[in-house]
Amino acid sequence: MIVLGIETSCDETSAAIIEGDKKEPYVKLLSNIVSSSLLLHAKTGGIIPEKAAREQVKYIIPVLEKALGEGKVDKKDIDAIGVTVGPGLIGSLLVGVETAKTLSYIWEKPLIPVNHLYGHIYANFVSEISNLKSQISNIEVPEFPAIALIVSGGHTDLVLMKNHGNLKWLGGTRDDAAGEAFDKIGRVLGLSYPGGEHIEKLAKNTSEDFFNFPRPLINSGDFDFSFSGLKTAVFRQISQIKNLDEKTISSICYSTQQAIIDVLVTKTLNAAIEFDVKSILLGGGVAANNSLRGNFKFQISNLKLDTKFFVPEKRLCTDNAAMIATAAFFSTKGRSASGGNKIGMPWQKVDAIPDLYFDTAQY
Ligand code: KG4
Ligand code: ZN
């Protein structure tokens, strides 16, 4: 089954083609084109939604054409179209959704609405191995039940995944997302937007947690997160420093990063132990952080957990359409996606996040 994915929830305009076989654990990536308006937003130190939406309009058609071209796929080969329907910036989302609806109508292909957060989880089910069947047997495959940590600029969520399509939200941030904390602290330190990868780079200059910032809710006993207090603590510390030289900035970056990592790793491993899962899956832009990846591996081995650890390759951590096409593909498992211009059912709703979806009935 060949799926065209479209992702426009924020500042990336992306289209991708994947090929899936229901008997295989991974899908094959045929193309994944991502155009980002990040540099534009770097000038304003953050995203202005109206500007992001206008950029989506500019790039959606060229990105789609490139994805079809690189994937060497003709429209007649496409079996379904998956599109991000939320959460995200409404103006940006509408560009992708309206484009997908139009293509679905004129090409007579089924349309599958995809939750952006599920997309981030499904980045773990993408393979770039060209000959999937012959090589898949000797590589690790995610097994269920699994705990997924989605950690991005807009979200920090822990999800229990019992199987494909069976997801239960366990907890999430009560205020700022982890990526948002990185970005806001980065801005106060004078780093370019988005701050996450710059903080990671500067943190490499030291290995001492000099400031030992608070680890909010680390022992709260639930699966919620909170990063706004950490952000305030860092801001307060910065305001008290007279000479914010490079060495001090690196130290603040290290201590900020370590505080965020400690909370993310501790809470995720608590969930993994409580639900006795076989796999841990990471997703979202912050999952691109090497120290976070390393800390997870270290703690899993340190605690001798019998849990496999999966994290997508970096370009699939940040927003992309390959993950959306993959989520769309797996949402069709067990039922036919053919049959003209039918609309795919979204996965089981996660009750605890009421605004996770648009009203998909209208699509
Ligand atoms: O998933 P994503 O591309 O967009 C959202 O859905 O939000 O994530 C973007 C976020 C930003 O907050 C960015 O600072 C963060 O991911 N990020 C990182 C790193 N690379 C991106 N955070 C920490 N370390 C990184 N290497
Ligand atoms: Zn995202």
Smallest-distance ligand from the CA of 316: 1
Residues near ion ligand 2 (CB < 5 Å) are: 152, 319
Smallest-distance ligand from the CA of 256: 1
- Residue 179 Cα: closest atom of ligand 1: 12
Mutate to test the pocket of ligand 1, among 8, 152, 192, 201 (most ligand atoms within 8 A of CB): 152
Give residue 60's pLDDT.
Answer: 96
219 alpha carbon to ligand 1 midpoint, in Å? Answer: 25
314 alpha carbon to ligand 2 midpoint, in Å? Answer: 13
Q: Among 5-14, 18-27, 54-63, 134-143, which is the least confidently predicted range?
A: 134-143
> Does residue 191 carry a pLDDT above 70?
yes
Average pLDDT over residues 242-262: 96
- Residue 120 Cα: closest atom of ligand 1: 1
Structural domains of the chain sorted by starting position, each given as residue range(s) with its CATH number in brackets: 2-139+315-331 (3.30.420.40), 146-311 (3.30.420.40)
Pocket of ligand 1 (CB under 6 A): 10, 152-154, 179, 182-183, 194-197, 200, 284-286, 288-289, 318-319
CA-closest residue to ligand 1 atom 10? 153
**pLDDT above 70 coverage of the chain, percent:** 88
Smallest-distance ligand from the CA of 153: 1
> Does residue 336 carry a pLDDT above 70?
no
CA-closest residue to ligand 1 atom 21? 285
HEC profile of the chain = CEEEEEECCCCEEEEEEEECCCCCCCEEEEEEEEEECHHHHHHHCCCCHHHHHHHHHHHHHHHHHHHHHHCCCCHHHCCEEEEEEECCCHHHHHHHHHHHHHHHHHHCCCEEEEEHHHHHHHHHHEECCCCHHHHHHHCCCCCCCEEEEEECCCCEEEEEEEECCEEEEEEEECCCCHHHHHHHHHHHCCCCCCCHHHHHHHHCCCCCCCCCCCCCCCCCCCCCECCHHHHHHHHHHHHHCCCCCHHHHHHHHHHHHHHHHHHHHHHHHHHHHHCCCCEEEEECHHHHCHHHHHHHHHHHHHCCCCCEEECCCHHHCCCCHHHHHHHHHHHCCCCCCCCCCCECCCCCCCCCCCCCCCCHHHC
pLDDT tens for 101-126 read 999 999 999 999 999 999 999 999 99
Give residue 356's pLDDT.
Answer: 33
Q: Is this structure's pTM higher than 0.85?
A: yes
148 alpha carbon to ligand 2 midpoint, in Å? Answer: 14
